[in-house]
Structure 1
């Protein structure tokens, strides 16, 4: 078996409009398609990262919370590569997003930081 790439990441949010605003207006992801699925009382928003479609944002009535702190088993965080972490952190802070101090990965010597989406999902920015 040979896997080619990650096709998409699915995120279930508690407040669809708030999360849509965060991923589209704050992070700048591009809307590919938005669908309301009446039978599930659920929105599905397909978002592109760069030139690829990679994130599906879902809304469902009353989804249970997923613990992040202390760190729980399962998906740990979502990471985005970018060229200039200082500029990205400044843009997030100007939009009212709290960002952890920039650190350096001891193995790769690359700079990175974390912040959270509206539901507390940890998101990492990792400098190229």
Structure 2
């Protein structure tokens, strides 16, 4: 077996319309497919990333909240590559999104910062 990359990451949100707006309009991820599954009272939205990987956004009634930020067991955060971290930080802040100060990865020397989606899922920007 040879793993070739990540196909997708799945996110369960608390407010589908708010999260759909955040990922498709603010983060500008193109919608691949949107499906409402009546038997689950659940939406599934597939979003494209430029490298061919995807984000899947789900809504489920009464899904439990994330226990802590971000040190709970499980997925710690999602990190996105960006070409210009300063421009990306300023863009998010102009959209009213709180972004942490830019830091430097002590191993790679690359710049990175964190922000959160509408459900406080920790997201990272990482300078290429």
Relative to the length of structure 1, the TM-score reads: 0.97
* Unaligned 5+ runs, structure 2: none
SS at match of 2:11: strand
Cα shift readout 1:60-119 (whole Å, capped 9, x = no counterpart)? 101101123361111100000010000000100000000000000000000000000000
CA RMSD of aligned residues (A): 1.0
Q: Distance in 1 between matches of 2:124 and 2:85?
A: 10
1:76 and 2:91 matched: no
1:62 and 2:62 are equivalent in the alignment = yes
Output aligned runs, 1:83-98, within 5 Å.
83-98=83-98
- State the TM-score, normalized to the length of structure 2: 0.97
Structure 1 position 111 matched with structure 2 position 122: no
Q: Which runs of 5+ in 1 are unaligned?
A: none
**In structure 1, distance between residues paired with 2:58 and 2:70:** 25
The runs of at least 4 aligned residues of structure 1 exceeding 4 Å deviation read none
Deviation at 1:51, TM superposition (A): 4.7
Check conservation: 1:104, 1:110, Cα contact below 8 A: yes
CA distance in structure 1 between the partners assigned to 2:102 and 2:125 by the alignment: 9
1:44 counterpart = 2:44: yes
CA distance in 2, matches of 1:86, 1:25: 20
